[in-house]
Structure 1
Amino acid sequence: MSVVSVRRAHLGMLLWALLVGLSFPAVGVMSEGLPPLQLTALRFAIASLALWPLARRAGDWRPARRGLLLYALMGLCLAGFFGAMFWAAHRATALSMATLYVTVPLLAFAFGVAAGVERLAWRLPLILALGACGALGLAFAEARNGGGGLQFGSGELVFFGGCLSTALYPVLSKWGINRDWLSASAAARTFWSLALGGVLIGVAGSLVEPLAGLAWMTGSDLLLVVYLGLCSSAMTFWLMQRATAALTPGAVTAYGYLVPFVSMLLLFATQPEQIGWAWLPGSVLIVVAMVLLLRGDRATA
C-alpha cells in the first residue's frame, strides 16, 4: 500500500471523527418519542440510496454467494451494535457506556490478530491503550456534568455485546478484502453492509417498536434524518471502508477516541463556561495517541 493511500486513509478518518462528533447535536434536537431503531433503519435506507449510483459503477459490485454471506455478517454487526446501544440507553449510565466503548479498538486489534489481518506487535496496542485512557478521562470529566456513575448490570452487558459487534465489523471487512470476497470499491462495500444492516435493524424495530412511531416525525425531523443518512451514515461508513483497505482494524477504530474530543470542542464552543482542567489530561492523551498513530503508519508505509 502506497504512502499516499495510507495518508489519505488517515485524513479520511479524521474527517470521519469530525462528522460523527457533529452528528450527536443533530440527534439531540430531534423530537422526543420517535422509535430509534426505525429511525436508524430509515437513515441506513437513505444512505444506501445515496450510495447506489456509486456502487453500481464498480465492476464487481454484485457479490458472489460467499461475499453476500460476508456482507450479511457485516450488516448483522451493525444491527447488533445499534440495537444494543438503543436497548441499553435507558438501562445503563452514560459513563458506563463510554467506559465500555473505549474497548472497541483493543477488541478490534485482538480480533484482527486472530483473523490474521493485524500484526502481533507491541506498538499499536500501546497507542490504543493510551487513547483509551484519554477517552476515559473525557468520559469521567463529562460524568461530572451529570453523566451518571460507573456501574455494570444487564444494560452494560448488552452494550458490551454491541461493542464486540462493532469491533468485528472492520475485521470482517479487512478479511474479505484480503481474500477478494468483497468488492474493491469502498462504495459497494458500504452499500451492501448498510443495506443489509438496515433491513435487520428495521425488522428488529418493527418487532419491538410501534409501527406508527415514524408518523410523529415533523418536517425538521425528516430533514435531520436525511442529513444524518447522508453525512453520518453514508459518508462515515464509506470513509471507514476506504480506510480499511489501507489500514488495519485497530488503526481504523482508534479514531473513535477522537469522537468525544470533537464533542468536547463543540461543547466548549457553545458553552465556554464548561471549560475546566478536568478535560485537559484526557485531551492530551488522545492527541498524543493520534500523533503516534499517524507517525507510526507514515514510518512503516
Structure 2
Amino acid sequence: MLLWAVLVGLSFPAVGAMSELPPLSLTSLRFLIACAGLWWLVRRAPAFLPDGRALPLYALMGLCLAGFFGAMFWAAHHATALSMATLFVTVPLLAFLMGLLFGVERLAWRLPAILALGAAGALGLAIAESLAQGGRLRLGIGEAVFFLGCLATALYPVLSKWGLATGRLPESAAVRTFWSLGLGAVLVGLAGLAVEPVGRLAAMTGRDLLLLGYLGLFSSALTFWLLQRATAVLTPSAVTAYGYLVPFVSMLLLFVREPGRVGWVWLPGSLLVIVAIALLLRHGRGDG
C-alpha cells in the first residue's frame, strides 16, 4: 500500500499534464489499457468467468471506478493537482462510515482516531498550499465534482470486502480487478458516446497517448491490483487510509519542481501525515 500511495500521488500531475479531452471516453480507454495489462494474470485463473451473483457486483464496482476517474479527468483542468490530492484524503473516513453500514468495519475508537489525525495533516498541507499561492481555502466546481468522485471510490473497497465476506467474489485479486475495470470501461464508454464529443479524441497528441498508457498500466491496473490484494486482509478504511500519503507525494513533487514554494509552513501537515501512517502500520500489525 505504500507503493500504491506513491503511484496514486504521481497520477495527479500526469492527468493534469494531458490535453483537455472528453473525460468519460478517456476513462474508458484507460480501463481498457489496464485490462489488457492484467490479461496475462487472469486468463488461466480458475474463477475467471463471473457467475450470476458476481456480475452485478462487478458492474457496481465498475461504476464506482468510472465515477471517480471521470471526475478526476474533468476536475484536472478545474482544480490544482495538490487540491485534488488533498480532497482524496476524505476517502478513508467515507470508507469507514460506509463500511459500518455494510458490516465490514468494526465500531472502535483507535482506527477513526488515526484517520482523523491523517485528515488533519492533509488539511495542514491544503492550508500550506493556500498560503503559498497567497489566497484562502475555497471550494470551486472542480473540487465539488472531484469530491463526488471521492464518494464513489470510497465505496469500491467496501463493495469488494463485502463481496469477499459473502462469497460473491473470488479470492484472486487480479480477477476482481480485471472484471471491475472491464465493466467500468464498458459502462463509462457508453456514457461517453451518449454525452461527449468523442471525435475530439482524434486531437490526442503523442504525449497524451504515452500518459494514457502510463495511467492505464500503472495508475489503474497496478494500483487497483494492489488495493484488491490489501482488501483481502485489511478493512476498507485501513486500505484507503494509505491515501494520506498522496498529498505528501504531491508536495514532494512540488518541492522538486518549485522548491521556493515549499517552506516551513508545510512541516506540521507533513509530520501529522507521517505519524498517522506509522500508527496505521502499527495498527495493522496489531490486527494481524
2:65 aligns with one of 78, 81, 101: 78
- Residue 109 of structure 1 corresponds to which residue in structure 2? 96
1:43 aligns with one of 8, 11, 30: 30
Aligned pair 1:260/2:260, yes or no? no
Residues 127-206 of structure 1 correspond to what in structure 2 (within 5 A)? 127-146=114-133, 149-151=136-138, 157-206=144-193
CA contact (8 A) 2:27 2:70 kept: no
Aligned pair 1:246/2:233, yes or no? yes
The alpha carbon displacement at 1:291 in A equals 0.3
- Residue 237 of structure 1 corresponds to which residue in structure 2? 224
Is the alpha carbon distance of 1:144 and 1:209 closer, same or farther for their aligned partners in structure 2, counting shifts above 3 Å? farther
Residues 33-81 of structure 1: per-residue CA shift (max 9 Å, x gap) = 3222222211111001111221122211111111001001101111222
The alpha carbon displacement at 1:128 in A equals 0.2
The alpha carbon displacement at 1:143 in A equals 2.3
The alpha carbon displacement at 1:275 in A equals 2.3
1:102 match: secondary structure: helix
2:269 partner amino acid: G
- Residue 20 of structure 2 corresponds to which residue in structure 1? 33
2:198 match: secondary structure: coil
- Residue 6 of structure 2 corresponds to which residue in structure 1? 18
Q: Give me the CA root mean square deviation.
A: 2.2
The whole-number CA distance in structure 1 between the counterparts of 2:39 and 2:228 is: 15
The whole-number CA distance in structure 1 between the counterparts of 2:145 and 2:10 is: 26
The whole-number CA distance in structure 2 between the counterparts of 1:268 and 1:96 is: 15
2:168 match: secondary structure: coil
Aligned pair 1:68/2:55, yes or no? yes
CA contact (8 A) 1:95 1:148 kept: no
1:227 match: secondary structure: helix
Q: State the TM-score, normalized to the length of structure 1.
A: 0.88
Aligned pair 1:227/2:231, yes or no? no
1:213 aligns with one of 190, 200, 209: 200
CA contact (8 A) 2:28 2:186 kept: yes
Aligned pair 1:57/2:44, yes or no? yes
Residues 157-198 of structure 1: per-residue CA shift (max 9 Å, x gap) = 544332221111100000001122112111000001111111
Is the alpha carbon distance of 1:283 and 1:219 closer, same or farther for their aligned partners in structure 2, counting shifts above 3 Å? same
Unmatched 5+ stretches in structure 2: none
The whole-number CA distance in structure 2 between the counterparts of 1:100 and 1:25 is: 15
Deviates more, 1:101-110 or 1:89-98: 89-98
Question: Would you say how many aligned residue pairs link Structure 1 and Structure 2?
Answer: 288
1:16 partner amino acid: W
The whole-number CA distance in structure 1 between the counterparts of 2:8 and 2:81 is: 17
The alpha carbon displacement at 1:93 in A equals 7.7
Unmatched 5+ stretches in structure 1: 1-12
The whole-number CA distance in structure 1 between the counterparts of 2:257 and 2:78 is: 29
Q: State the TM-score, normalized to the length of structure 2.
A: 0.91
The alpha carbon displacement at 1:153 in A equals 6.7
2:241 match: secondary structure: helix
